[in-house]
Amino acid sequence: MPDPAEPLLLRALRCEKTERRPLWLMRQAGRWLPEYRELRTRHTFEEMAGTPELAAEVTLQPLRRFPLDAAIVFADLVTPLAALGLAFRFEPGPVLERPLRSAADIRALRVPSGTEIGPEVHATLRLVRAALPPERALIGFGGAPWSLAAYAVQGGGKSDFPALRSLLASDPLLFGELLDTLARLSAGYLIEQHRAGAQVVQVFDSWAGLLSLADWTTHVRPHLLRLLDELGRAGVPRILFLNGAPHLATAAAELPSEGLALCWRNDLGALRAASGPAKALQGNLDPATLLAGPEATSRATRALLANVPARGHIVNLGHGVLPETPHASALALIEAVHAEVRA
Ligand code: CP3
């Protein structure tokens, strides 16, 4: 018998039949909520993410305002890089003080034990789990090796990350050593998040789409596979998120993860038909649709629900909720999901 107190999201992740589809929003903690912006007037982003009490408060804010099925811990993608000795600041995106460009820099990196990687994030998870009702899932997150390398090598967000792709072209062996280090960093960090209370972790590959399928398969996939395998061996439920990468979706569906999240460019219904029922799919409304208002959002949500079978579907956006999103649109999305009558 299913335990009614077990979060819907965890049951959907196992592709069990649920009374309705679970729903959360990528990047729901932070930038789009007035209560976040109010706290932010008194603290820097670094203070908020670095202080477990503040980070726990920000993690819980979206669930106080909206009946969402999961909380995602408030931290940043680059947070674990600090454990490699890499210093960064936010302007507002992450900027590294000394991007990794030389073989000596990359070969000097040492991965510490999991408890030493983002300890403030583990402390935040413990606080949130204690405060969160049992039927809401707690999601931890980290970066895929490629997307962490994007910031570590480029030094900041830059369209198409040319320094990263140039490192791959000039020295694929060194590139592989860097991705191996970052995969081990993410594995230790995420296993520790699971121990601290994260019931599932999402691996964000925000820049997944920058390479061809052939280059991705040769140079990136092995490291992503190693990370997912290590999490699997530790018993950590996994959602893999690929942004901007429809050309990799079929290959990504074959990687070991309980869930696959994809951006709005993908047809989740077609992917479900092609990949069979064993893997949960997450997504994938265009975040910009919500800017068009509640009616457009309801229409798009109903179309999504009609296109993707309910079983094993976690409703979400295809990427992060945009800062200017009207709350009425978020409510319309939630209402459309809650209103769906199960056959
Ligand atoms: O749900 C959540 O928002 C949880 C917290 C969260 C943040 N960053 C907080 C944050 C999460 C899940 C992230 C992940 C993240 N950070 C990713 C992967 C997800 C994605 O969107 O693809 C990436 C690529 C980053 C890098 C990053 N950090 C950027 C580009 C920026 C700039 C502005 C923004 O909001 O995206 C940041 C800063 C950042 N990280 C903020 C927040 C709330 C804004 C900081 C501020 O308040 O000024």
Annotation says 27 is catalytic: yes
> 326 preceded by cis ω (within 30°)?
no
Mean pLDDT of 90-118: 96
Specify whether 40 is catalytic: yes
Question: Ligand 1, closest atom to CA 76?
Answer: 8
Enumerate domains of the chain plus CATH numbers.
8-282+309-322 (3.20.20.210)
Q: Which of 264, 116, 243 is nearest to 192 (CA)?
A: 116
DSSP calls for 192-261: HHHHTT-SEEEEEETTGGGS-HHHIIIIIHHHHHHHHHHHHHTT--EEEEE-S-GGGHHHHHTSS-SEEE
- List Cβ neighbours of 258 (8 Å cut-off, separation of 6 or more): 13, 14, 200, 237, 238, 239, 279, 280
Residue located nearest, by CA, to atom 5 of ligand 1: 74
Q: In a mutational test of the pocket of ligand 1, which residue from 77, 148, 240 has the highest number of ligand atoms less than 8 Å from its CB?
A: 77
Asked if 21 and 343 touch (Cβ cutoff 8 Å), the reply is: no
For 330, the token pair is 């978020």
| Tokens 């980290």 sit on residue | 142
The answer to whether 244 and 265 have CB atoms below 8 angstroms apart is yes
Task: Say if ligand 1 is within 6 A of residue 40 CB.
Answer: yes
In this predicted structure, the answer to whether residue 295 has a pLDDT above a threshold of 80 is yes
Note the pLDDT of residue 3.
74
Contacts of 279 (CB under 8 A, 6+ apart): 15, 253, 257, 258, 259, 260, 312
Nearest to 91 by CA among 46, 146, 153: 46
pLDDT of residue 1 exceeding 70, the answer is no
Q: Is the pLDDT of residue 343 over 80?
A: no
- Token reading at 13: 């992740």
* Residue 141 CB–ligand 1 contact under 6 Å: yes
Helix (H, G, I), strand (E, B) or coil at 330: helix
State residue 278's pLDDT score.
86
The structure's pTM equals: 0.97
Question: For residue 110, with 0-12 CB atoms within 10 Å meaning exposed, 13-18 middle and 19 or more buried, which class applies?
Answer: exposed
**Alpha carbons 3 and 21: distance in angstroms, whole number:** 16
Q: How far is the CA of 49 from the centre of ligand 1 (A)?
A: 11
Cis peptide bond N-terminal to 307, omega within 30? no
pLDDT digits (tens, 9 = 90+) for 200-259: 999 999 999 999 999 999 999 999 999 999 999 999 999 999 999 999 999 999 999 999
Share of the chain above pLDDT 70, in %: 99
